[in-house]
Amino acid sequence: MWMHTHDTLAKRLGLILTRLNMGERLVLETLSQDYGVSVRTLHRDLNERLGYLPIQRTGSTYYLNPRYLGRSSKYHIKPVLDILGLSKIFPAYDALSFSRLSNNEVPPFLFRDMKVEDVSNYQSTFKSLTLVIQNLQIVSFTYKQQQYQKVSPYRLVNDRGWWYLAAIHNNMLKSFKVANISEVVVTQLNFTRSKSIDSEITNSPMLWLTDKPIEVVLKIDSAIAGHFCNTSLLPEQQLLKVLDDDRLLVTSTITDKKQIIPILKYWLPDIEILSPSELKQSLVYELQFSIDQLSKYTFLYHFSSLLHNKLFVKLHMVIIWIKE
């Protein structure tokens, strides 16, 4: 009896993978009782978090394509890790298998705060693009109210949690944010994959191929400089200079402020926007909006009021600091 009402996401997905791999046909309502989570959560598990697998669906019943059944060794888990971009994280695959990962009471790995875009609003588009990529079919679609004809779709690329379509259009490699693609029309024409295009997609920053890039210049305080030296926390992060006081000057290339503002808010007040000024103004606006929203709440307990006041003061001080 599969009764795990307090399983972590990783363990739940591991168990679901194992059951699918054993040939079980999983019904959402039954899974909901088994794992103590809602049907909606399980729908996300199977359609989003495990959406890269050849899972088939009949009504509310999910099952694995029969040709993929029984694959549970380290040799079969490696391609899954390759797809997820996690291959380089693990030094070896000797200890990896779906069955061992799912049967352990406490999984050996724990990933925190992995941000992945919710694809439920464009699920049909995502599935259509997946199929045409596999079938090498030429398509047309609408993107940001503009028509694109004779597009050769190569890959669906997840970059920092956001999904992009890498495709050839007018003999140029471009990227399209999947959330903005609509009215996909599949033609009967096929295209031939190019190994050089595949290599370029793998090795190039896909985010910046379509929209005009914006260069952001930032000053990183010495208190957090180590984090930015060891890891590229910003989109297309480049180190410009290490200052005498150990602060850093870095650049980041974006096409949308939403790609960087959440990161900036997390590291405030130890990170400063030097340019562009429009991005600094947007950050001030968002922080001011947060204060306005907080001021609308009525707290019933003195502790909650104190917490609210401290947060209000902190946000207000950060806004003043940014404006200076």
How much is the pLDDT for 304? 44
Q: How far apart are CA 313 and CA 302, in angstroms?
A: 16
Indicate the class that CATH gives domain 120-208: mainly beta
Give the residue extent of every domain in the chain.
9-103, 120-208, 214-323
How much is the pLDDT for 281? 85
How much is the pLDDT for 16? 85
Strand partners, 176: 165
* Environment class of 31 (CB within 10 Å of its CB; exposed 0-12, middle 13-18, buried 19+): buried
Give every strand in the sheet of 55-58, ordered side by side. 26-27, 61-64, 55-58
* Environment class of 195 (CB within 10 Å of its CB; exposed 0-12, middle 13-18, buried 19+): exposed
How much is the pLDDT for 91? 52
DSSP state letter for 222: T
How much is the pLDDT for 103? 53
Which bin fits 161, alpha (ψ -120 to 50), beta or left (φ > 0)? left
How much is the pLDDT for 310? 46
Residues of the chain with pLDDT under 50: 1-7, 208, 298-313, 323
> What secondary structure does DSSP assign to 68-101, as a single string?
GTT--SHHHHHHHHHHHT-GGG-S-STT--HHHH
How much is the pLDDT for 305? 45
Q: Which fold has domain 9-103?
A: Arc Repressor Mutant, subunit A (1.10.10)
Task: Phi first, then psi: give them for residue 220, nearest 5 degrees.
Answer: -105, 125
Q: Rounded to an integer, what is the distance from CA 109 to the centroid of its chain?
A: 19
How much is the pLDDT for 321? 52
Tokens of 40: 């909606």
How much is the pLDDT for 116? 66
Q: How many CB atoms lie within 10 A of CB 84?
A: 12
Residue matched to tokens 């949690």: 161
How much is the pLDDT for 5? 39
How much is the pLDDT for 302? 43
How much is the pLDDT for 96? 54
Q: How far apart are CA 291 and CA 316, in angstroms?
A: 8
Greatest alpha-carbon span in the chain: 68
